[in-house]
Structure 1
Amino acid sequence: MTFSRLANFIQEYIYSHNWQELRPIQLAACEVIFDTDAHLLIAAATAEGKTEAAFLPVITVLQEQQPQSIGVIYIGPIKALINDQFERLNGLLKEADIPVFPWHGDISQSSKNKALKSPRGILQITPESLESFLINKNHDLVRLFGDLRFVIIDEIHTFLGTERGCQLLCQLARLANITGKQHRRIGLSATLGDYSLAEAWLSSDTNKRVITPLVETKKRQIKLSIEHFYDYETEDSLVSDSPYYRHVFNLSKARKCLIFANNKSKTESVISSLRQIATDEQEPDIYHVHHGSISPSLRQTAESAMREKNKPAVTAATLTLELGVDIGNLERVIQLESPMSVASFLQRLGRTGRRGEAADMRFVCAENVFSSETPLPEQIPWQLLQSIAIIQLYMEERWVEPFKPVKYPLSLLYHQTMSIIAATGEISPALLAKQILTLSTFSSISQDDFKLFLNYLIDINHIQKTDKSKLILGLAGEKIVNRFQFYAVFPENLEFAVKHAGKDIGSIAMMPSVGSQFGLAGRTWRVLEVDFRKKAVSVEAVEGQAGISWRGGSGVIHSQVLQKMRQILGEETEYVYLSKKASQRLQEVRNLAQEKGFVQKNIFDLGKGKCCIFPWMGTVAYRTLERLINSFCRDTLQIKSIGGTNPYYLLLKLPQDKIDDVYSEITALCNQRIIPEHLVSETEAPEINKYDEFVPFPLLRKAFIYDYLDLEELKQMIGEWKS
């Protein structure tokens, strides 16, 4: 019996917490850990007990055979998740002599010193902090991790197909090479589509297979609704008069609610507005903001408020609370506009209904007011359509976006090359090439590519060659590597720290000036003093509202989502979760689509020398189409300008008599022998990732061609176009 194989203190824990039985995924995970030496992928719905499925058998193994070093590394994508899991593990391990060490930028040095002095138990860490270990503790890694048994990767889907995920794979392979011991890996996720892709990723650089138990789970009850608004606001509008914010206020009033927005600015504006309405109505201030530019102390305050039982709290967040932080008594999730993906929808939906209650998620979509004179594509409620499409893709088809591996992670190539040189002090070019090019992440990098790359780094003084033909860091390279920001592969935010009465509030990306006002942490602040040397701003709280913005990408939307949006427009299906206004708005745009015909045909004449293309394809294919038109059609069609909104529509300005040729020109191009290189000029190599500026031009151009464009998908989708 599986239960009897668990450590005695775990059995006691289960009895004392009145568990009726182990869940199917927990039983299956125990069998894999106890009876095989395989890696394990735990793919199960939210609240099915994935964390316990991983840790119950792993802790049992640690209890039976005490490791001589840290026995388990738990990788969390964000600090909040590590903090949350630390509390859960501490409760489980209270009776055992197995310590848990959280390790990230907000953990005190004294706590970290305990782990370094007596390395055992479980280390909870982010990839960035693990990178610091590999560089700064290189000669101590065998003592720290020589008997490492397991690596548990939580929310594994957040790493798949990303440069950060590639970094993690490099780290785990380097650690195994240094210690000479291959650990077992366990991946956890509630939002995987294609298990085989995740299994291949999890087994990278190892010779172990991956087992993914397939178990039936209980169907969850789900409450969904979508409301639609027009944005009538002006600069003089009162927040209390806004139907949009009034609706959000009523949805969240006296409840435990998470509000998800797709960017930091929206989280700030919604909480500021809700706080203003609450003040006007003499309701308590229960409002918080949680995103990467909020100070750790205020983020922790928000997390604590959300966990506190029987007390209402409302927090607006970006993806920082999308992941598996357990807010057990959360009553409702409110989604402002559409999420970017089905995976994101599932993550956010999964925050509620974790204690047997129905999951409750309310979408609130808005669009600008328009008239009959408004251009056709701006009369379409894209966010409403995208919300419906994302819901239906999962509800009807159980479809979740597959990930696309990064073929040329060149910014990471720079990062790992410099990391290995910094860790070793000096290394021969041959040994460095062996350590780098044998990593699965860099399988597409040839010997010639790497030779070109190293010579370039020598030319720009990021590395130097010694008299003994060894490679060391150059002066320019040392300046990069010696900064703590080096550990992360994602771009750093050059922001000003904001302080009020000596307390950290967060940070802003805008250039502040004394007397100016901005919004942060859901409140309005006036700048009192700016220290440009320390990049710090002193502020005081003031009444009223002020905006703020951060730079950032808008994410990638899959072509399947756009295809579903098109299908929804062309059908008459009614959706029970639409409010009366949302249902009416859907019917209006369906009538418009039927009248104008933009569902049946992709290219639409707007008159006056303007043409609109509805590609019905995702972000990457849209980007490729835009380049195809710009590279090959600008002269032949005499195009004056190309605009639009990715991935919804393209706008071309061209002579009226050329509009009829747009379809034939594009489709003919896709039948020719065009290769991806033709879409990027010889002098073009966009710097997109953190260290791209240190990558030689020919390699950077190749990476852009193959990782940011997709000519094959474009050709396939244009093959289905109709004139």
Structure 2
Amino acid sequence: MSESSTSFYRLDERIQRFIWTEGWESLRDAQEAAIPLIINADRDVIIAAATATGKTEAAFLPALTHMLQSDELGLIVYISPLKALINDQFDRFDRLCEQLEVPVWPWHGDVSASIKTRFLSKRNGILLITPESLEAMLCNRGTSISTIFDRSTFFVVDELHAFIGSERGKQLQSLMHRIEQVVGRKIPRIGLSATLGDMNLAAEFLRSGESTSVAIVESRSSSSELKILVKGYEEPLVIIRSGNGDDEEPEPATPSLIATHLFKSLRGSNNLVFPNSRREVERFTHLLNNLCIQQQVPNEFWPHHGSLSKEIRAETEAALKQQNCPATAICTNTLELGIDIGSVKSVAQIGSPPSVASLRQRLGRSGRRKGEPAILRGYCIEDAIGGEASLATELRLNTIKMIAMISLLLEGWFEPPATNGFHLSTLIQQMLSAIAQYGGITMSQLYTLLCAQNAPFSCVSKVNFITLVRYLGQKEVLIQDSSGVLLHGRVGEKLVNHYTFYAAFVIDEEFRIVVNGKTLGTIPISQMLTVGQRILFAGKTWFIEEIDEVQKTIYVIRAFGGVPPSFSGSTGRTHTQVRQRMRNLLESNDIPSFLDEVARRFLAEARKGYTARNLGHTFFVDQGRVVYILTWLGDAANEAIACLISWRGFIAVPAGPGVEVLKGKYTTEDLLDALIDLAVDDSPPLDILLADVKNLQREKWDWALPDGLLRIAYASLYLDLEEALKWAKQIAAINTR
């Protein structure tokens, strides 16, 4: 170990010996910086460093040193988003901690009761736990929480970015806060992540209201060489005959071509392939397995997504870890986080990723071996231009979006965490959980616990809190006894006693598409829906006649004639910075070196279409029945603009880089007038703005929110009214000169 490493010599001698035995030549820069910040256990710390740069050791080496130097062995609570990650970390810690005589305790649904009982008798060492198991502990062992966590020295939150801005993240904030309230002191928090777009927002998440006191460690380690190839594939033009709409969806031709390239490029090494949906994971796994059979070679391609059993996922993970047998996983974001899957040679991305942050996280799995580059293969699919091509096809937006995301990745930009959500769904869960923990609690005590200054739900006013409690009483979720204590109601008691209660999030649900009593299939819904809206499904255009939110069903009729909807949705929600970069690419002459011949052609065609439509100087695209307003803003702003335009009497929905508006009796001039009016008039209250919007119930407990609070919760998570109105004012200024 280098003599210049002062941090190394601050570690416990037994840890120093372990490091020498492991043959470490030096500490990483993040470890050098983090050790003095953590070792005294007197502050919160965020460690941001690329994958495989020693973040976990940067946290645990000084945390263990502090614990070993104390008079009494304490407890480090490690919180992970995944059970599989806990299992990996248990194997990782066990060898070191055995030498230190520090017990390591995994705790999740698959861990035996005997291990949990032994932990409860000792209550020291390292506890590896998920938020859901922590929730269950508070609900079911409320009277013992003080005893269990009294000796806690740290909360360590792994994959911090996976929690920020989500219901699960708000749950985690609340759980840590509630434990601190019971033990009567702050427990230092350590956040670990490879992908944090805004360190100040991340610090605010880690310690609400006290972000300035959070110490931040950002690794400056140089990354490995990066090799990128983006290949373009054109789906042949298919003529769909008009009729009753019952003809089958044509099977796309490009997946088999992409699978053939993957087969040739990936065989013989370990890789990850991300096709962006579970259905596509199954499609490409099937195609690649068939190629192995046809070529009479052993299968190297394995599926991995959330709908598969844990046994099948474990088989894929085990295949990736085998050193002598190459394996490639076709996966969703289930393998995006830090599960130990060994060394991965390359990452393939089919279609644009959900976000730049997601792309960075995925690419971080490649190029871990010293001297090996990280490799990214991107595959863009575009429909052939012909007939009544959509605007998205003309502008080759699938390709443009991927190029934009890669260019932002290369510049080191990725999306800042979303921290403005009210998360009222999770507030309901935490109210019920706190009642279970304390065996009953007054309304005043509950508000102080969860909603007071610096508490997890401090954005909730007393008026809204009282409104919520009363509504939950009407739904029999809560009751209040004669002394004023809140208890579980008839409905609430059933919910809390069910095993599904402990998770704050809901698995993404899909809506059925039904025409004339026949189910066409299901689609995930990530944006608002309105009656009269056109949607693209199974290669055809449909009008929405009715939306049944309870049954998760959309009733449609065929829409014949005219161009199809240009934008049929995508994975994830796109940030304004990505859309602005897409526009910049369309207005530029630069050609990225990582594009193949077809992708370069797509880029040229996109720029030609952009210029032909004069989109550098106009934001309206009139396509007969509909008008596209190209804002080049993110999804949250576009959804807000769509709501504001709908309030003015139009049928408008967010659509890719803009908003689609059904003209009906209106003209383009009427639409421009409406936009100018938006810039000068006051915005309506949310009750009016979202009155006709369906499918607002996105989160697990949204069904238990009164309409007014449901609209507040939805707007806080999905609408950016400020950015929308700023854009409207810019348009008004240009058109009123």
When normalised by structure 1's length, the TM-score is: 0.86
The count of corresponding residues between Structure 1 and Structure 2 is 660
The answer to whether structure 1 residue 716 and structure 2 residue 726 are counterparts is yes
User: What amino acid does structure 1 have at the position aligned with 2:202?
Assistant: A
Decide whether aligned partners of structure 1 residues 681 and 36 sit closer, same or farther in structure 2, where only a CA change above 3 A counts: closer
1:693 is matched with: 703
Equivalence for 1:659? 668
Alignment check: 8 A CA contact 1:232 1:369 kept: yes
Worse overlay, 236-245 or 333-342? 236-245
- 3-state SS of the aligned residue for 1:150? strand
Give the direction of change, closer, same or farther, for the CA distance of 1:44–1:623 in structure 2 (3 Å limit). Answer: same
Matches within 5 A, 1:492-641: 492=507, 554-606=571-623, 608-634=624-650
The answer for the alignment partner of 1:41 in structure 2 is: 46
Question: Is the CA contact 1:239–1:273 (under 8 Å) kept in the aligned structure 2?
Answer: no
One-letter amino acid of the counterpart of residue 628, structure 1: L
For 1:232 and 1:66, the matched residues in 2 are separated by 72
Answer yes or no: is the 8 Å Cα contact 1:633–1:665 preserved in 2: no
Structure 2 match to 1:538: none
Match of 2:306 among 285, 292, 295: 292
Aligned residue in 2 for 1:650: 659
Shift of 1:704: 2.6
Of 329, 333, 336, the match for 1:315: 329
Alignment-mate amino acid for residue 272 of structure 1: H
Query: 1:55: how far off?
Result: 0.9
Matches within 5 A, 1:74-89: 74-89=78-93
Contact kept, 8 Å, 1:131 with 1:171, in 2: the verdict is yes
Structure 1 stretches lacking a partner, 5+ long: 496-507, 511-551, 635-640
CA 1:112–1:35 in structure 2 vs 1: closer, same or farther (change >3 Å)?
closer
- 1:332 pairs, out of 327, 340, 346, with 346
The CA distance in 2 between the partners of 1:695 and 1:14, in whole Å, is: 53
1:498 equivalent in structure 2? none
Q: Secondary structure at the match of 1:93?
A: helix
TM-superposed deviation, 1:381: 2.2
Aligned partners of 1:628 and 1:679 also within 8 Å: no
Give the counterpart letter for 2:450 in structure 1.
Answer: I
Letter in 2 for 1:152: V
The answer to whether the aligner puts 1:707 opposite 2:717 as a matched pair is yes
Cα contact 1:255–1:314 (8 A) shared by 2: yes
Corresponding position of 2:229: 225
- Cα pair distance change 1:386/1:492, threshold 3 Å: closer
How do residues 163-562 of structure 1 correspond to structure 2 at under 5 angstroms? 163-204=167-208, 209-232=213-236, 242-356=256-370, 357-396=372-411, 398-438=412-452, 440-492=455-507, 554-562=571-579
Gap change, CA 1:561 and 1:237, over 3 Å in 2 = closer
State the secondary structure of the residue aligned to 2:230: strand
Structure 2 residue aligned with 1:543: none
Is contact 2:233-2:254 (8 Å) kept? Answer: no
SS at 2:339 equivalent? coil
Q: How far off its partner does 1:566 sit?
A: 0.6
Displacement of 1:208: 8.5
Residue identity in the other structure for 1:383: N
SS of equivalent residue, structure 1 residue 444? coil
Q: Deviations over 1:320-369 (max 9, x none)?
A: 11012233321111111111211101100100111222111111111233
| 1:11-30 deviation digits (Å, cap 9, x = unpaired) | 22212221110111101110
Structure 2 residue corresponding to 1:4, chosen from 9, 15, 18: 9
Cα displacement (A) at 1:672: 2.2
Deviation at 1:376, TM superposition (A): 2.8
Q: For 1:188-245, what per-residue CA distance to the aligned partner results, in whole angstroms no more than 9, with x for missing partners?
A: 1111121111112212266992111345322421111111112349978798993222
Percent of pairs with identical residues: 34
Q: 1:153-168 to 2 correspondence within 5 Å?
A: 153-168=157-172
> Does the alignment pair 1:25 with 2:30?
yes
Cα distance, 1:170 vs structure 2: 0.6
SS state of the match for residue 352, structure 2? Answer: coil
Residue 95 (str. 1) matches residue 99 (str. 2): yes
Q: Is residue 344–residue 365 contact of structure 2 (8 Å, CA) maintained in 1?
A: yes
Q: Secondary structure at the match of 1:213?
A: strand
Give the match's secondary structure for 2:99. Answer: coil
Query: Do the aligned partners of 2:235 and 2:253 also contact (CA within 8 Å) in 1?
Result: no
- Cα distance between partner residues in 1 of 2:666 and 2:714: 35
The whole-number CA distance in structure 1 between the counterparts of 2:708 and 2:596 is 53
**Contact 2:204–2:211 (Cα < 8 Å) also in 1:** no
1:84 & 1:463 partners in 2: Cα distance? 40
**1:627-682 deviation digits (Å, cap 9, x = unpaired):** 12211142xxxxxx545x63334333326981244334313322322245376255
Q: Give 1:43 shift.
A: 1.1
Cα distance in structure 1, aligned partners of 2:234 and 2:211:
56
Deviation string 1:105-148 (CA, Å, 9 cap, x unpaired) is 22233332322232211111111111001111111112211110
Partner Cα separation in structure 2 for residue 620 and residue 240 of structure 1: 32
- In structure 2, give the amino acid aligned to 1:618: G
Measured in 1, the distance between the counterparts of 2:153 and 2:469 equals 35
What TM-score do the two structures reach when normalised by structure 2? 0.84
CA distance in 1, matches of 2:725, 2:72: 54
TM superposition shift of 1:478: 0.7
Q: CA separation of 1:239/1:84 partners in 2, compared to 1, >3 Å: closer, same or farther?
A: farther
AA aligned to 2:282 is E
Contact (CA 8 Å) 1:147, 1:181: kept in 2 or not?
no
Greater shift after overlay, 316-325 or 368-377? 368-377
**Alpha-carbon distance, 1:494 to partner:** 8.4
Letter in structure 1 aligned against 2:594: Y
2:645 maps to a residue whose letter is: I
Aligned residue in 2 for 1:518? none
Is 1:52 the equivalent of 2:57? yes
Residue type of the partner of 1:52?
Answer: E
Aligned-partner residue type, residue 505 of structure 2: F
Shift, 1:407, TM fit: 3.9
Task: Give the distance between the partners of 2:434 and 2:60, measured in 1 at CA.
Answer: 32
Aligned pairs (5 A) from 1:130-141: 130-141=134-145
Measured at CA, do residues 9 and 437 of structure 1 come closer, stay the same or move farther in structure 2, by a change above 3 Å? same
Shift of 1:160: 1.3
Q: Between 60-69 and 444-453, report the one with greater CA deviation.
A: 60-69
SS at structure 2 position matched to 1:292: coil
- AA of the residue aligned to 1:612: Y
CA contact (8 A) 2:506 2:700 kept: yes
Output the aligned Cα RMSD: 2.6
Maintained 8 Å contact 1:163/1:406: no
Cα distance in 2 for residues equivalent to 1:36 and 1:110: 31
For residues 573 and 694 of structure 1, what CA distance do their matches in structure 2 show? 52
- Residue 230 of structure 2 aligns with an amino acid whose one-letter code is I
2:29, 2:219 within 8 Å by CA — same for their partners in 1? yes
- 8 Å CA contact 2:48–2:219 kept in 1: the answer is no
Q: How far did residue 288 of structure 1 move?
A: 1.5
| Contact 1:609 1:656 (8 Å CA) reproduced | no
Match of 1:668 in 2: 677
| Distance (Å, rounded) in 2 between the aligned partners of 1:224 and 1:137 | 51
> Could you tell me how far 1:605 is from its partner in structure 2?
2.1
Q: Deviations over 1:563-618 (max 9, x none)?
A: 10011011011101111211121111111111122243211122x34322222111
Look up the SS of the partner of 1:73 in the other structure.
Answer: strand
SS at match of 1:573: coil
